[in-house]
Structures are given as C-alpha cells and as structure tokens.
Structure 1
Amino acid sequence: MLGVASTASLRVYVSEWENGRRPISERYAVILRALLGVTDDELTGEPTDPGPPAFVGGYDELVNRIDSARNVSLTMVKTFMDQTELLRTVDRQMGAASLVDQMTGHLATLEDALTFAVLPETRRPVALALAGAATLAAWQALDVGAVERAWRHYELGKRAAQEAEEPMYLVHAMAEQAYVLCDAGRPQLAVDLVRDAQRSGGKRMSPRLRSWLYAAEAELCAKAGLPDDCRRAMEQAQACLPDGEDARDPDMLSIFLNSGHLARWRGNALALIGDDDAVNSLYRAIDVLDPTFIRAESGLRCDLAQAHLAREEYDQAQEHLRQARLLANRTGSVRRRRRIEQLTQML
C-alpha cells in the first residue's frame, strides 16, 4: 500500500506538477500511471532516454539478435497471440487503465522480434501477432483518452497487417482508427475512412467482418448527422451477419459480433439519430449481454440514457447514467466518462 500526502498537500502537488515546478516522484508516478492509464513519457512529457546507440563497435550483438529472431517458432507466435488474448479478456472485464505497462511491454517484445527477423516466413507470423496486439493497444489508449498514442498504435497495426499480408487485419485497424477521427470532431472524415476500409477489403473479408464494418459505418454516420445513411448501413450489417449465436470470427479474433451485439449497436446508432425504436433494441441487447463485457454494458447504459432523453423520460435516463457511471469508474474509461458527463448536462 502506497502512502500519499493529505488532500490539501495533494492539491498543491498537482498544481506544481502541472506547472513544472515539482518533478513527479516514482512513488506518485506508480499511482498516476494506473489511475490515468498513461505511459511514463505521457506522464512526464519527456521521452525516456534511450541510452547509447546499440551495436557500437561491432556486429556481435546484432548477429545474436538476428539469430534469436530466426529461432522464433510458430509455438512462440502462438504464445504472443495468447498473451494478447489474455490482455483482451482483462481489458474487457477490468478496463484498460491498469494494463498500460503490460501492453507497452508486450508491443515492445513483438516489435523487437519483427525488427530482427530477416526472412518472410519468420516475419509474417510475428507481424500478424503484432497487428492484433497493436490494434487492441490502440483501442485501449482511446478508451483512457490517450488519443495520440491510439493513433500511433493504429498506424503500427496497419503497417504490421500489410507486412503480414492480412487484409482483414488492415481494414479492421482502418475502421477502428476512424473512431479517433470521430472523437476528435471529424465525423465525416471518419465515415470516409471506414468506407475506404470497406473498399480496400473488397471480397477478401469474412461475412462477420463485413457486418462489423457496416455497423461501424452506421454508428459513424449517425454521429455525422446522416440518418438515412445510418439506417441503410445498419440494414446491410444485418444482412451480412452469419446466423447463430457464435460471436468470435475464426478468421479475425478481434471481432465479437452476433445478433445480440448487433442489436446493441443498432440501438446505439438509432439513439444517436433520435429514432424512437432505439429503446426496444437496447433493452433486447441488455437482456443477452455477456456479463463479462463491463465496458460494453457501460456504453449500453449510456445509449439507453440517450434514448430515454430523446423521449423526455428523464427518470429512466438518470438511472441508466447512474449505472453507467459506476461501470465506467470500475474500468477507468475516460472516453465513457466524457460521454456520461455530456449526457448528464442534458438532464
């Protein structure tokens, strides 16, 4: 347990930290990293000293690294992907703020393995693992409000997907990156990007990924003030979705989408455009929601609050916002808290 100063002293410390008059000690850095979901560089505003350049004075160390990378087996790549899956599960249940250090280390390991791999048969599997991890890290960064880090991780994910020659991972990273643009106040540009992702994927996408892309387009169209385009895209998402309750795409493990998930997404989009049918879709979605999807439930509660606000049902909206706030606090989602505050101001 880390001891901290009194509330009065902490107010002074925060002011001095913000104005650069007091350095952040390691004791407080540990607390602030977990609380804010930031890296050391983002916390201090100063890049970490990378140390002296590698391989000065000879090639021995470089050759050793290349030899090590050559020995990266498919078993080790599976271990990398299993680690990503574990981080995805923890993120879903506990939020991204507590995972910054683990995800940073995981990406560094994958980048290092790819940097020193030489031949394509070694590079492609590692690049595929990196593409999945980088996209997850980007979504986590967006959730905690680190938008520049999110953008850079999406760029890394796109490069890795291109190296791996995996078009589905590339279009998924493009479409998720569109949310950074939307959150930054450029919803029309976000719509253009997700449509470009659809064109780039063409016929190489699985039906579930195609449905996911249309649902993303519908949400972004709603935020861009394009209600007709929103409804049309959601109809296409419904038409593409495979039958059955399976949610994971076997060809694209980053995708979770079945009829229950799509009902939630449809309700979200309809709530954004003020459609009266949003409430029914959202209540159907909450009835079948996996209880481990804590962050998703927080978003669903926000959607229900927005739908009730559109119907001037303020008591119901307030109750859903209360539950959304509790869930957002559990996961440390800055993005969700921001939306909760915006909706609260409408009460």
Structure 2
Amino acid sequence: MAKGLKAARAARGWSQDRLVYEMRRVAEQRLLDIASAASLKTYISEWENGRRVMSGRYASLLRPLLGVTDDELRGTGSALELHTDGYADLLTRIDAAGSLSESMVPSFLAQTELLRSMDRQMGATGLVDQMNGHLEAMEEALTFAVLPGMRRPIATALAGASTLAAWQALDAGAVDRAWRRYELAKKAAQDAESPLYLAHAMGEQAYVLADAGRPQLAIELVRDAQRASERQSLRLRAWLAAAEAELCAGAGVGRESEARAALDRATALLPDDGEVRDVDMLSIFLDTGHLARWRGNVLAKLGDPSAMEALYASLASADASFVRAASGLHCDLTQAHLARGEPEEARSHLQQARLLANRTGSVRYRRRVEMLTGRL
C-alpha cells in the first residue's frame, strides 16, 4: 500500500493533512458519510504502512481524487480474471462479439469523444475509472472478435481511446501507466492496419521519453513516426513535425536550426481547409490557431523574442474549453517574459498557470510551474 497511496499522494504534492481535507471536501459534495478528520489521518497512515486494508468505499473516493487506478492505489499488480466455463463460455463471448461489433463501434467512438471533452475541460484525474472501464470493454470486444473485418473497426477505436488514456496518465504523473497505454495503442493500431494511429501513438509516446530525460531518443521516435506516416494525413504529418520542433527546442543547445526547420515543415504541411480535425484522424486537433500557439511554445523554449507576439495572439483567440492547454500557454508566456527580463509579468502568468494546473489536477504542468518558480 505504501507504494500505491503514498506515491499517488506525493505525486500531487499533498501532505496527509491535505489529503484528509480533500477527502472530506469531496465527501461533503457527494453527501457521503466518512470518518472524522482525525480518524482519516490515522487511516491514511495505516493504509500507507500496510497496517489497514482499504475498503472499497474509501478506494472509490480516492481513485478519482488522485487520478489513479485501483491497482495503482493499492500498489498491486494487475489481477488476472480466470474463466473456467470452457468452450461454452468462449463461444458465448465470440457470438456476442460477432453480433454486437458493428453497433458497438459508434458507441465506443462517442464515449471516447465524451471523455476527451471532459478531459480537456476538467482534467484527467477524475476520469480514471471511466477510462479504464471504457478500455476494458473495447479490449474484451477485440479479444473475441474473430474475423479481420470485425476486428479492424474495434481496434481502430481502441487505438484512439488508448492514446487519449495514455496522455491522461502522463498528465496525472502516472508514467508507467502512460507507457503501457501507448504500447496498447500501438498494438491496436497494428491490428487495425492503421499507420495513422500508429504514428500518432509513437509521436505522443516520444513525450514520455523527453520528460524522462531522454530527448535524443524522443526525437528519433517522433522522426520514425513521420517516416511511418509519409503518405498519410497532412494534418497528422504537420502535427508530428510540430512535435519534433518542440522536442528539439527542449533538448538543449545545438538543436535550434532543427526546431525551426520542423516548424516550417509543419506550417507547409498543415491543410488550409478551415478544419480542426480530419475525419480519419479524430485524435488530433490542429488548425492554424493551434499551430500558432505551438510555434509560440517552441520559440519561447528557444528564447526567441518573437515568441511573445505569437503567444499573446494565441491567448486572445484560445478556445475556452481547452483549460489544461491554457495552463501550458501561461507557462510559455512566463518563460518568454523571463527571457526578456520581465519578472513581474512572468509572475502574473505563472500564477494563472498554477491555478489552471491545480484546477485540472495536472501533475505534469504543476512540475513545469515549480520549475519556472525556481527561476523567479
């Protein structure tokens, strides 16, 4: 239990007292009857030290609060469910998958879209249970879908949802879960025979490597993703080029020319069609406005004074529903003002970034906020 609850609490930067406060706050909102503050603090210590078994009632309260799965909360491995009903049970599952596969896919896609919308507005931490259930349902359907024509649409839906789940896990600071979700997305994309979803999963997975301190490996992975998508969606290729630019800009000295070249390539590739998403690549949001914000991010990392104009233009036109992205935008503005020796302006944007990161529960952006705080 110490590995689970204590690690999840530490990732949020919460003391035991803060966790008690948050538990009672949520319980009050939900009209739940839980222990007193003093008793809860004792429970937390005993849960973390393995002296008390956490009940399902408290686990269901803590999972969305901390943005972790049940296994992560309890510090256990994945349990294997054994089915002993033999051939009859197997055939029942195969028949169910065959009869429902066509009708299930639109429902899977709609559920992914709902979770995507909730994630960008409220953050990922409260969606862990829903996302896990969503992925499990698709994995179950894919496991028992026999023929390729039945499997491909389910696998495509699973690839898109797994990539979203991986990004949510990375944002919540659950690095191991993020990596495994990206691997699931890549395998599903291969099953779906979809180079688009495979390349996108590889491109996002590169950010895990960059965050882990392996920028060169991250850059190589996103470049491999671009080679895998050379004949695919222009919007996806533009997205991957912009990702390469950001990774190069964050890799340290000596990468400026590569970052700028990748930015120029992204601009040249992006379709001027007025759309934000491709019909065949719903996992990506990218139009000229999004790319301008991305350009500001890259230029800020490079210390380019022109970043300021791009970032403020993005701030003025930003979609209000992209709450977590706004935290990143304010971090970029903080960095840009610091590069110009303007600490007061930087401090103002950093405060906004901190508020938005806390609002969405983004561990990843909270780390960036803390890093920038050390520069003020």
| TM-score scaled by length of structure 2 | 0.88
Quote the residue 1:74 is aligned against: 102
Q: Is the 8 A contact 2:101 2:141 kept in 1?
A: no
Matched residues in 2 for 1:64 and 1:96: separation?
35
Quote the residue 1:119 is aligned against: 147
Quote the residue 1:278 is aligned against: 307
Structure 1 regions of 5+ residues with no counterpart? none
Matched residues in 2 for 1:63 and 1:84: separation?
28
Q: Is the 8 A contact 2:230 2:237 kept in 1?
A: no
| Pairwise CA distance, 1:62 | 0.5
Structure 1 position 18 matched with structure 2 position 48: yes
Superposed CA RMSD: 1.6
Count of matched residue pairs: 344
Quote the residue 1:158 is aligned against: 186
Matched residues in 2 for 1:24 and 1:66: separation?
36
Quote the residue 2:121 is aligned against: 93
- Secondary structure of 2:284's match? strand
- Secondary structure of 2:264's match? helix
Structure 1 position 339 matched with structure 2 position 368: yes
Quote the residue 2:75 is aligned against: 45
Q: How does 1:222-261 map to 2 (within 5 A)?
A: 222-225=249-252, 226-261=255-290
Identity of aligned residues (%): 64
Quote the residue 2:243 is aligned against: 216
Structure 1 position 33 matched with structure 2 position 63: yes
Q: Is the 8 A contact 1:96 1:144 kept in 2?
A: yes
Q: Is the 8 A contact 2:301 2:335 kept in 1?
A: yes
Quote the residue 1:290 is aligned against: 319
Q: Is the 8 A contact 2:101 2:154 kept in 1?
A: no
User: Could you tell me which amino acid in structure 2 is paired with residue 55 of structure 1?
Assistant: T
Quote the residue 2:224 is aligned against: 196
User: Could you tell me which amino acid in structure 1 is paired with residue 286 of structure 2?
Assistant: L
Q: Is the 8 A contact 1:55 1:62 kept in 2?
A: no
Matched residues in 2 for 1:109 and 1:294: separation?
28
Quote the residue 2:171 is aligned against: 143
Matched residues in 2 for 1:196 and 1:345: separation?
35
| Pairwise CA distance, 1:24 | 2.7
- Secondary structure of 2:275's match? coil
| Pairwise CA distance, 1:93 | 0.8
CA-to-partner distance for each residue in 1:180-199, whole Å, 9 max, x for gaps?
11111111110010001111
CA-to-partner distance for each residue in 1:67-87, whole Å, 9 max, x for gaps?
111112433211111111111
Matched residues in 2 for 1:115 and 1:2: separation?
38
Quote the residue 2:292 is aligned against: 263
Q: Is the 8 A contact 1:2 1:27 kept in 2?
A: no
| Pairwise CA distance, 1:298 | 0.9
Matched residues in 2 for 1:241 and 1:259: separation?
8
Matched residues in 1 for 2:78 and 2:214: separation?
32
CA-to-partner distance for each residue in 1:193-248, whole Å, 9 max, x for gaps?
00011111222x21111110000000000111211111111111111111143211
